[in-house]
Structure 1
Amino acid sequence: MTNAASAKYVADFRVWRGSPAGGGLEDFKVAVNEGEVVLDVIHRLQATQAPDLAVRWNCKAGKCGSCSAEINGRPRLLCMTRMSTFTPSDTITVTPLRAFPVVRDLVTDVSFNYEKAREVPAFVPPEGVAPGEYRMRQVDVERSQEFRKCIECFLCQDTCHVVRDHEENKTAFAGPRFLMRIAELDMHPLDAAAESGLDRRRTAQEEHGLGYCNITKCCTEVCPEHIKITDNALIPLKERAADRKYDPLVWLGDKIRRRPE
């Protein structure tokens, strides 16, 4: 294990330690080597000074979303935040995701997100088209492919002030990750939700809290996959929901029955 004598430098870390009952920041001096990320230093801290420090991680490659935390107040992945972005004189503060309940130390209970995921109706396949027979234009594939890059790190959920600063909103607001999922399904050319009686735009507004979003783009700013959540998902979904609800021509069209072919 690298020690302070052989390290590039020794960094000042402040790490939140505690449980649901309470806790606080503890100061540590930890060795840092060339090319390391914050998760490397947290692991060294576990190995040398705080063996009972709880931190969630898995792939260490920025693809599982497990090691989400807040570094100097900004939601980030520990494994994708390079130590080279800080100077040796910086104090690096690592805290758990603020929007979710603490389990222990840096580990939070993100079950809220899985509950919201279950509330989003799944893709509805078109009637009479068997799996393997689906056909889509490449432009339609590209339109929603961006959203499929989501690794469900829930950094966007954590930074969204509707969730972060207002616990009472959680029952009515799905958050940017799942509103993005609704937008993806709504723009999917093969989704037959409307034919089955499901209006995704109406449910986004009335059941998943689309109106709470005020498009500050904070979710986009913290996304490690650089998904343009606000511009490409939330704003278009808001526009389509508004058209459905307030456009008199759309309203009239919904009232007129189509003549049988």
Structure 2
Amino acid sequence: MSYQGKFRVWRGDDEGGELQDFTIEVNEGEVVLDIIHRLQATQAPDLAVRWNCKAGKCGSCSAEINGKPKLLCMTRMSTFTEDEVISVTPLRTFPVMRDLVTDVSYNYQKAREVPAFAPPADLKPGEYRMQQIDVERSQEFRKCIECFLCQDTCHVIRDHEENKESFSGPRFLMRIAELDMHPLDAADRQHEAQDKHGLGFCNITKCCTEVCPEHIKITDNALIPMKERVADRKYDPVVWLGNKIRRRA
């Protein structure tokens, strides 16, 4: 079963562009990435799109479909009606390079700013020991494929370009939270999250969780617990007193 689908695809570069209309064959069982590939093969050979695995595991084909951040390879055409006009546009939060390809180097810069796992100095290789419950706490976050859809939909950086310098976004705050949960990590992740990565900017709207293709509960299981730990450390009088005593000792 096939039909002629109507698409509006953004064409252009960093100097500007526009949505172009296409009518293209759609077959049963296809995903949006299949349609983009057919467009390249039949009508727009110079259409730029980033993709790799077509299995929802590399995170390369991130775009916005009808205004919502999604993976092209995981969005089935069966979720749309045959007479629906489907728009495909680049990620809005990042600078356009060409057509559907955006410059996501901001994310790699923020990744480099997160210090690596830091075990205690006197702990030798082979002496690491963790309880299974500690492994399970952070295992969920390791499913991240770095598609950066959460970064794209986060309004703190999506709507405020000036925040990019001081806010790392949900993906990397989640990474910091993961390290903070590790019982052998000796770095001061809470201070780092608040003062260097802008944890306080996050107002937990859960938009990052809603678009995650791996269904990671970014807000509930990473950002909110991290915010609570930071607040306890900074404002709880008992914790504050304990820290004072330890510093004096």
Change (3 A) 1:248 1:259: closer
| TM-score after normalising by structure 2 | 0.97
Partner of 1:211: 200
Tell me whether 1:84 sits opposite 2:110 in the alignment.
no
Tell me whether 1:249 sits opposite 2:243 in the alignment.
no
Partner of 2:95: 101
Deviations 1:88-128 (A, max 9, x none): 01111000000000000000000000011111111102233
SS of 1:245 mapped into structure 2: helix
Shift of 1:224: 0.3
Partner of 2:17: 23
**What are the equivalent positions in structure 2 for 1:1-261 lying under 5 Å apart?**
8-193=2-187, 199-257=188-246
C-alpha distance in structure 1 between counterparts of 2:107 and 2:151, whole Å = 8
CA RMSD of aligned residues (A): 1.3
Structure 1 portions without partners, runs of 5+: 1-6, 194-198
Percent identity, aligned pairs only, is 81
Report the residue type matching 1:60 in the other structure.
K
C-alpha distance in structure 2 between counterparts of 1:67 and 1:79, whole Å = 7
C-alpha distance in structure 2 between counterparts of 1:23 and 1:45, whole Å = 18
Shift of 1:132: 3.2
| TM-score after normalising by structure 1 | 0.93
Between 113-122 and 221-230, the greater mean CA deviation after superposition: 113-122
Shift of 1:257: 3.1
Structure 2 portions without partners, runs of 5+: none
Report the residue type matching 2:239 in the other structure.
V
Aligned residues: 249
C-alpha distance in structure 1 between counterparts of 2:146 and 2:74, whole Å = 15
Report the residue type matching 1:109 in the other structure.
D
C-alpha distance in structure 1 between counterparts of 2:229 and 2:247, whole Å = 22
C-alpha distance in structure 2 between counterparts of 1:135 and 1:32, whole Å = 53
Report the residue type matching 1:253 in the other structure.
G
Report the residue type matching 1:257 in the other structure.
R
C-alpha distance in structure 1 between counterparts of 2:247 and 2:63, whole Å = 53
Shift of 1:134: 1.4
Report the residue type matching 1:70 in the other structure.
E
Shift of 1:13: 0.5
